[in-house]
Chains A and B, each alone.
Chain A
Amino acid sequence: GDSVTQTEGQVTVSESKSLIINCTYSATSIGYPNLFWYVRYPGEGLQLLLKVITAGQKGSSRGFEATYNKEATSFHLQKASVQESDSAVYYCARDSNYQLIWGSGTKLIIKP
């Protein structure tokens, strides 16, 4: 079936340094899925960070970017300069038959 893979359970980055969180998705279904990044900040509910519904396009929000790469079936999340407030758990997801298929999440820890 359809799947989403996040290989890193935890990533530690120094403040003001760049970040990349990896996400790859399966391409077993017909057509191209919609792709999402959700985030859970400490003490808050899961919320949408960004989404991209067209292959080849880039989505951005709060300084984060992700590009829909249909050749590599990837949707990596990047930020040029992280801040303490970015500490959170980030989830990649794709849609499939009216539901979302989720990655296992990547916890981002920011070092001062």
Chain B
Amino acid sequence: GGIITQTPKFLIGQEGQKLTLKCQQNFNHDTMYWYRQDSGKGLRLIYYSITENDLQKGDLSEGYDASREKKSSFSLTVTSAQKNEMAVFLCASSIDKSGNTLYFGEGSRLIVV
């Protein structure tokens, strides 16, 4: 089996700061995703990538940048952290983009002070 590792587990930053979350997968999957989950709500897609150096915007991409420089890693940058976007960020991967099973990391919690 494989694993998805998200770092850090907790990311604390100041309002207006640029903050980056990292995700690594060893499944050798083509597609990777970043989701945001606010308390008591469903997951919302921020960015996804179907291969190395590809980036596709999800419904929630404004205020975020992403980077897929290697097949195994996918990073997400909050360009200017705001207190109303404290949430859990979930990274996932799948074999391809056709809606196959997603494998998730444990999540990274963003705290803005």
Contacts and interface: CB of A to CB of B under 8 A. Distances in A.
Interface of A: 4, 9, 34, 38, 44-48, 51, 91, 93, 95, 98-105
A112 to B, nearest CB: 26
Interface of B is mostly: loop
Given A45-B4, A46-B90, A47-B104, A98 B98 contact: yes
Interface stretch (B11-19, B42-50, B65-73, B78-86): B42-50
Given A9-B40, A99-B48, A104-B40, A45 B107 contact: yes
Nearest to A103: B42
Contacts of A91: 42-43
Interface string B83-113: 0000000101000011101111111000000
